């Protein structure tokens, strides 16, 4: 405690210099934490989005994930209801959603265009996934619909001049290779926020999809769990019970998420490194000036019998005080800004390829805060000790003669 008190007293000798050092350390730490918190929020949002899109687990026959299909649903699942019942018995499973993925043409009579369609169980799908689609017009699909219905992406609806109530025709190859057509009614128009997807995407119900493709199969089952943390253990259990099937996690199919994470890790990693180096340089510079000014005093303390290691310790503690106070202040600033963004929302512009902006949020993560503050403290201590080592080992007589 005495060494720490001495270190604190020393940092107060030149208050203006210490204040500037602490301020830069605080701003650096806050910048690192805000950037990290933003990246973390983005990761969490994309994780949720990816898991909500596909399900936490995706169950299918092995070929579904490794090979292209020659005919629609060639690698689909038979008797999926029994498998669904078995999966729902797992305590971590909240819902099992069958999906039929297919492609074909969609026509308004005058114009036909390519579609990428997904057959879903509407009530379950929209109940589990919540408001994942932004409805532009009309309503979402309903399971008990009397007629075949579809939801169209905004771009596709615009291309076909369709609106809720418009009749369209779906054309696709059946599982035995024949061409089939089915009249449907537009129930709603949605936007995913990605214009390229909205130009092609169609949702319909499972029964309509199976009728169009002339099959009872589904492509995959999306398994929704009660929490993200249950993903790995649930995957193990489901795989053990169904060794003939492949069970992928949302992460296996989250290519966009992985790309963004890799990109952000590099961008924010480099940013953090640069800020960290700046802070260390500032602390080092402040300590270097303080040590040069106190060379004679260091000589006196050495003459009195202070060991070099004791002096290094107290000078490192000075660095720790400067870096630590700065880092703690930076953490408080970052926390305050994070909270402020919830109270006063700031909207970010749409990212490339998207038509929707998103709220600027910064996640507070105690672990990240602890690591950033401790890293800043450790770096400041090391930098101070490194800069002090030469003066501490200067011959005592030489240090005492320093003017």
Partner 1 sequence: MFAPRPASTPADPPRGCGPAWERPGARPAFAAPVIELRGVHKTYRLGQHVIPALQGVDLVVRRGELLALTGPSGSGKSTILNLAGLIDTPDRGEIVLDGQAVTGLEEIPRTLLRRDALGFVFQSFNLVPVMTVAENVDYPLFIAGVPARERRERVAAQLAAVGLQDHAQHRPDALSGGQRQRVAIARALIKRPRLVVADEPTASLDSHTADQVLDLMRERCHAEGAAFVIATHDSRLTQRCDRVLALLDGRLQ
Contact residues: partner 1, CB under 8 A: 2, 6, 9-10, 12-13, 296-297, 300-308, 310, 395-397, 400
Q: Read out DSSP for 296-324? A: HHHHHHHHTT--HHHHHHHHHHHHHHHHH
Minimum Å gap between C-beta 385 and partner 1 is 18
Q: CA–CA separation, 201 vs 222, rounded Å?
A: 18
User: Cβ closer to partner 1: 14 or 242?
Assistant: 14
User: Cβ closer to partner 1: 10 or 253?
Assistant: 10
Phi-psi region of 230 (alpha: psi -120 to 50; beta: other; left: phi over 0): alpha
User: Cβ closer to partner 1: 200 or 313?
Assistant: 313
Q: Read out DSSP for 51-63? A: HHHH-SEEEE-HH
Minimum Å gap between C-beta 15 and partner 1 is 12
- Report the SS3 class of residue 103: strand
Minimum Å gap between C-beta 395 and partner 1 is 7
Pick the closest to residue 274 from 18, 37, 40, 31 (CA basis). 31
User: Cβ closer to partner 1: 382 or 396?
Assistant: 396
| C-alpha distances out from residue 369 to 29, 330, 349, Å | 9, 10, 27
Minimum Å gap between C-beta 380 and partner 1 is 20
Minimum Å gap between C-beta 47 and partner 1 is 52
User: Cβ closer to partner 1: 10 or 95?
Assistant: 10
Pairing mode of beta strands 201-205, 112-120: parallel
Q: Which helix (H) or strand (E) holds 351?
A: none
* Contact between residue 26 and residue 326 where contact means Cβ atoms under 8 Å apart: yes
- Report the SS3 class of residue 232: helix
User: Cβ closer to partner 1: 5 or 266?
Assistant: 5
User: Cβ closer to partner 1: 299 or 330?
Assistant: 299
Minimum Å gap between C-beta 301 and partner 1 is 7
Minimum Å gap between C-beta 1 and partner 1 is 10
User: Cβ closer to partner 1: 14 or 49?
Assistant: 14
Q: Identify any residues that bridge with 93 across adjacent strands, giving them in sequence order.
A: 225
Minimum Å gap between C-beta 307 and partner 1 is 6
User: Cβ closer to partner 1: 204 or 384?
Assistant: 384
Minimum Å gap between C-beta 365 and partner 1 is 38
- The two structure tokens encoding residue 319: 């660095």
Report angle CA 66, 68, 71 to the nearest 5 degrees: 135
Q: CA–CA separation, 187 vs 164, rounded Å?
A: 5
**Burial (CB count within 10 angstroms: exposed 0-12, middle 13-18, buried 19+), residue 373:** buried
**For the CA atoms of the chain, what is the radius of gyration?**
31
Minimum Å gap between C-beta 9 and partner 1 is 4
Q: CA–CA separation, 188 vs 149, rounded Å?
A: 9
């Amino acid at each position: 405690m005495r060494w720490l008190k001495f270190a604190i007293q020393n940092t107060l000798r030149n208050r203006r210099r210490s204040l500037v050092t602490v301020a830069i350390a605080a701003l650096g730490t806050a910048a690192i934490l805000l950037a990290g918190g933003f990246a973390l929020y983005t990761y969490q949002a994309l994780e949720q989005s990816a898991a909500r899109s596909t399900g936490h687990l995706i169950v299918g026959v092995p070929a579904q994930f490794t090979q292209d299909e020659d005919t629609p649903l060639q690698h689909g699942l038979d008797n999926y209801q029994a498998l669904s019942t078995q999966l729902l018995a797992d305590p971590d499973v909240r819902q099992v959603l069958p999906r039929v993925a297919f492609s074909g043409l969609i026509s308004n009579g005058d114009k036909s265009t390519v579609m990428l369609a997904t057959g879903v169980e509407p009530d379950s799908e929209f109940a589990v996934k919540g408001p994942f689609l932004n409805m532009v017009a009309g309503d979402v699909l309903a399971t008990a619909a009397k007629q075949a219905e579809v939801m169209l992406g905004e771009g596709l609806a615009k291309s076909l001049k369709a609106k809720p109530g418009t009749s369209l025709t779906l054309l696709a190859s059946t599982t035995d290779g024949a061409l089939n057509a089915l009249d449907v009614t537009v129930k709603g128009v949605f936007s995913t926020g990605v214009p390229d997807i909205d130009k092609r995407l169609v949702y319909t119900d499972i029964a309509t999809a199976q009728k169009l493709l002339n099959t009872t199969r589904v492509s995959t089952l999306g398994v929704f769990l009660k929490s993200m943390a249950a993903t790995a253990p649930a995957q193990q259990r489901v795989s053990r019970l169904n060794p003939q099937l492949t069970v992928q996690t949302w992460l296996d199919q989250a290519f966009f998420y992985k790309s963004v994470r890799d990109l952000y890790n590099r961008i924010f990693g480099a940013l953090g490194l640069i800020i960290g180096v700046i802070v260390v340089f500032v602390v080092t510079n402040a300590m270097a000036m303080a040590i040069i000014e106190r060379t004679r005093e260091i000589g006196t303390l050495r003459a009195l019998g202070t060991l070099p290691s004791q002096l290094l310790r107290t000078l490192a503690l000075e660095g720790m005080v400067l870096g630590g106070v700065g880092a703690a202040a930076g953490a408080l600033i970052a926390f305050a800004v994070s909270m402020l963004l919830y109270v006063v929302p700031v909207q970010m512009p749409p990212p490339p390829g998207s038509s929707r902006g998103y709220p600027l949020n910064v996640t507070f993560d105690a672990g990240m805060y602890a690591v950033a503050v401790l890293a800043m403290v450790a770096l400041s201590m090391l930098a101070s000790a490194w800069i002090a080592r030469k003066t501490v080992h200067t011959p005592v007589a030489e240090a005492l003669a320093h003017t």
